[in-house]
């Protein structure tokens, strides 16, 4: 028997056939309103994580397509995506995305006031229970707060602080359903 590559599993098909497959060879067919929301790279990375889970964590060399799909669905659900797998193709229900501009929260040289306004904006965005809260304009916001024309180590530190603050604030808020956080 030929040994399988380290990044592959044997997929058991519904008809009883088996095929060795790597995550690169797995094709996804996505339809529905949310199809444009799923990045191909995200799917590849999620599929690689599921393959790793079965192969390395559970020491399995084969898995049914249904098991793999179910595990992949759970992983992607963690990103705020809801899947309907009853038929073919896979259909994604688009999550409601609440969006805010970080630059609109900046007041000249007021870093401490910024964090207070950021927390209030997060609470406001969480009010209607979205699936994802997206804050955009991080780079420009940080440069403005730091008074920098070019990105510097101070900018990177401040950027990390803003993202950490948002993560901490989101985890401390009482939300009705799981909510993803995107900061770009």
Average pLDDT per run of 10 along the chain, which is 184 residues long? 58 70 58 56 77 79 79 77 54 68 80 88 88 90 91 94 92 77 87
Instruction: Give residue 27's pLDDT.
Output: 55
pTM confidence score: 0.53
Instruction: Give residue 19's pLDDT.
Output: 67
Q: CA distances (Å), 2 to each of 5, 20, 52, in order? A: 9, 11, 20
- Tokens 């007021």 locate to 110
Q: Nearest CA to 83 among 75, 27, 44? A: 75
The DSSP bridge partners found for residue 17 are: none
Instruction: Give residue 100's pLDDT.
Output: 92
């Amino acid at each position: 028997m030929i040994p399988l590559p380290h990044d592959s599993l044997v997929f058991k098909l519904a008809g009883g056939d088996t095929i060795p497959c790597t995550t690169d060879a797995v094709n996804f067919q996505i339809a529905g309103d949310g199809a444009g929301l799923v990045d191909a790279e995200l799917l590849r990375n999620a599929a690689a994580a599921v393959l790793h889970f079965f192969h390395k964590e559970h020491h399995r060399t084969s898995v049914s397509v249904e098991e793999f799909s179910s595990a992949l669905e759970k992983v992607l659900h963690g990103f705020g995506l809801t899947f309907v797998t009853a038929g073919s193709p896979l259909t994604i229900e688009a999550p409601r995305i609440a969006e805010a501009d970080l630059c609109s929260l900046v007041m000249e040289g007021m870093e401490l006031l910024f964090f207070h306004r950021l927390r209030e904006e997060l609470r406001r965005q969480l009010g209607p229970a979205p699936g994802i809260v997206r804050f955009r304009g991080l780079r420009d916001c940080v440069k403005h707060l730091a008074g920098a024309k070019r990105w510097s180590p101070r900018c990177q530190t401040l950027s990390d602080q803003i993202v950490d603050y948002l993560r901490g604030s989101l985890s401390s808020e009482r939300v009705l359903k799981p909510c993803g956080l995107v900061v770009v």
